[in-house]
Amino acid sequence: MDFEFSEEQKQFLAEVEAFLDEHQDPEVMDPTRENMAQICDTPARRAFMAKVGEKGWLGMTWPKEYGGSEQDGVYEYLLNEALARRGAPQIGKGVGIIGKTLIRHGSEKLKREFLPKILRNEVEFAIGYSEPNAGSDAASMQLRATRDGDGWRLNGQKTWTTSAHFAEWYWVGARTDPDAPKHHGITLFLVPLDHPGLTIRPIWTMGDERTNEVFFDDVFVHDDYVVGEVNKGFQYIAQALDLERFTMFTYSQIDERIKLLVEYVRTATRDGEPLKDDPVVRQRIARLVTEGEVARLLGLRFVHESMRSVDPPRAEASEYKLYATELSKRVADASMDIAGPGSQLRVGTEEAPMAGRAESTYRYTVIDTIGGGTSEVQKNIIATRKLGLPRNF
C-alpha cells in the first residue's frame, strides 16, 4: 500500500484545517477531552457539527442515493483525525455506526427518517450494548424483548451508555429469542430516549466524563423501529463495533500528547541539568515516538483494507484499537513519570508540567482500553480471526 496522501487528499485536509481555524472556539474544541469524550453534548458543539454537515463532510463515504458523495474512506479518516487533533467533536456514532448499518440493513422507512438528519447533524444517538453482566461480551446481553401485537416490550437494564443523557434516540440490542445460542436471538431497535418507560441515571467515570445506566420498564417499540431482521442483531453489532473501534479512538490525540511530552523534555531541567540529556528519558521518548508511528500506520492499514471490502476489516480494527489505546496509556504513564510530582496537579493548572495534561490523560486513557471492547477482547479477536487459533486456546 501507498502510505503517502495524494495531492487531492492533501488539498482536502488543508480545506479542513482552514475550516477549523475559522471556527476555532474553546467551547467547542477542548483537546483535554479524550476520544470517546469528543461528542456533541452541548448546543455549541452540535451547532459546530451542523456546519461540518453543511460542508458535505458528514457521510462522505455513503452512496449518493442516501446523500453521500461516495468518497474513499481516507477522506473520512482525514476529517476525523483533524477534528480529534483540535479536540472538536468527532463524526461519531451517527455517521459511522448507525448510518452505515441502516444503509446496509435498515428498512426504507428508517433510512428516510434518520439518514437525512444524520447528514445535517440534527439527531444524536446513544449506543446500548453493555449490561451489568454483559460488558464487552455483547453476545451475552439479556435485556428482554417480548412480542406484543405489532411491536415489542423491552424490560431490563443497560449500563455504560455514554450520550444517553443528551441524545434523542437509543440504538439498543435486546434478546428476542432466549432459547437461541448466545450469538443469535438478538435484535437491534431504535428507541426514543424520552420514552416514559426509560429511566436514565448517571455514572461518573474516573476521567470526569459522564456515562449512564438505563432501565427499561415495559418500553414498547413498534416493528417499524426494528433494525434489519429479527434475531440478526448481533451480526450487525459486530460490524458496527469494528467501525467504532477505529473511528472513536483516533491517532491524532496520541500524537499531540507525544509532541507535548517531547516539547516538555526539550526545555525542562532536573537538578540543574537539561532533561533532554538524560539517557533514560531519551530512550523512553524515542520508543514512544517509534510506537506512535506504528499506531499511525496500523490506522492507515485499516483505512486501506476497508476501501477494498464492503465489510469493515475486523482483525485490523482490533489490531489498531488494541495497539493505539494501550500506547495511549503508555504515553500517559511516561508523562507522569518524566514530569515528576508536579504532573499530579489537575489539568488546567498553568504552573503544572504540560499544564496538567498528564494528570487528566492518566485517568482517562484507562477508559479507552475498555470502551468499544476491552483489550482482552481485542486479543481474542486477533487470535481467532487473524491467527486462526481455536476459541478454547
Does residue 236 surpass a pLDDT of 70?
yes
Q: What is the pLDDT of residues 71-123, one digit of tens each?
A: 988 899 999 999 999 999 988 789 988 999 999 999 999 999 999 999 999 99
So what CATH class is 126-231? mainly beta
Q: What is the DSSP string of 168-221?
A: SEEEEEEES-TTS-TTSSEEEEEEETT-TTEEEEEEE-TTS-EEEEEEEEEEEE
Does residue 393 surpass a pLDDT of 60?
no
* 393 vs 334, residue with greater confidence: 334
3-state secondary structure of 344: helix
% residues pLDDT > 90 (the chain):
69
| Residue 74 to residue 101: CA distance in whole angstroms | 19
Report field, pTM of the whole predicted structure over 0.75? yes
Confidence band of 135 (pLDDT split at 50, 70, 90): low
Determine the straight-line distance between the first and last CA of the chain, rounded to whole angstroms: 33
Q: What is the pLDDT of residues 277-313, one digit of tens each?
A: 999 999 999 999 999 999 999 988 888 887 776 666 6
Confidence band of 225 (pLDDT split at 50, 70, 90): very high
pLDDT attached to residue 310:
62
Residues 6+ apart with CB under 8 A from 197: 154, 216, 217, 218, 219, 220
pLDDT attached to residue 111:
97
Q: Which of 40-49, 145-154, 184-193, 361-370 has the lowest mean pLDDT?
A: 361-370
Residues in the chain: 393
Mean pLDDT for the stretch of residues 268-275: 93
What does residue 339 show for φ and ψ, rounded to 5 degrees? -80, -15
Q: Which of 89-98, 132-141, 155-164 has the lowest mean pLDDT?
A: 132-141
Top mean-pLDDT range of 24-38, 128-142, 337-351, 365-379: 337-351
Residue 316 CA, chain-centre distance (Å), reads: 16
The HSE-up count of residue 203 (CA atoms within 13 Å, CB side) is 13
User: Which grid coordinates belong to 24?
Assistant: 476555532
CB atoms within 10 A of CB 303: 20
pLDDT attached to residue 243:
63
Which CATH number is correct for 249-386, 1.20.140.10, 3.40.50.970, 2.30.30.140, 1.10.3720.10? 1.20.140.10
pLDDT attached to residue 208:
83
| Residue 216 to residue 154: CA distance in whole angstroms | 6
3-state secondary structure of 365: helix
| Residue 235 to residue 362: CA distance in whole angstroms | 34
What does residue 219 show for φ and ψ, rounded to 5 degrees? -80, 115
Considering Cα of 186, then 99, then 94, then 257, what sign does the dihedral take? positive
- For the CA atoms of 33, 342, 335, 136, the dihedral, rounded to the nearest 10 degrees, stands at -50
Are 126-231 and 249-386 equal in CATH topology? no
Q: Which of 28-32, 56-60, 132-136 has the lowest mean pLDDT?
A: 132-136
| Residue 214 to residue 201: CA distance in whole angstroms | 6
Mean pLDDT for the stretch of residues 335-360: 93
pLDDT attached to residue 136:
63
Any alpha helices (H) in 99-250, and if so which ranges? 100-105, 108-119, 233-247
Q: What is the DSSP letter of 295?
A: H
Nearest to 302 by CA among 23, 80, 42: 80
User: Which grid coordinates belong to 270?
Assistant: 532536573
Nearest to 209 by CA among 260, 161, 158, 258: 161
Q: Are 47 and 89 in contact (CB under 8 A)?
A: no
Confidence band of 392 (pLDDT split at 50, 70, 90): low
Three-state SS string across 19-48, please?
HHHHCCCCCCCCCCCCHHHCCCCCHHHHHH
Does residue 47 surpass a pLDDT of 70?
yes
Does residue 254 surpass a pLDDT of 90?
yes
User: Which grid coordinates belong to 81?
Assistant: 483525525
pLDDT attached to residue 126:
95
pLDDT attached to residue 14:
97
Nearest to 184 by CA among 114, 237, 252, 121: 237
* 181 vs 233, residue with greater confidence: 233
| Residue 3 to residue 314: CA distance in whole angstroms | 21
pLDDT attached to residue 36:
67
Q: Where are the domains of the chain?
A: 7-90, 126-231, 249-386
pLDDT attached to residue 304:
82
**What mean pLDDT, rounded, does the chain reach?**
91
pLDDT attached to residue 309:
64
Nearest to 33 by CA among 388, 324, 379, 361: 361
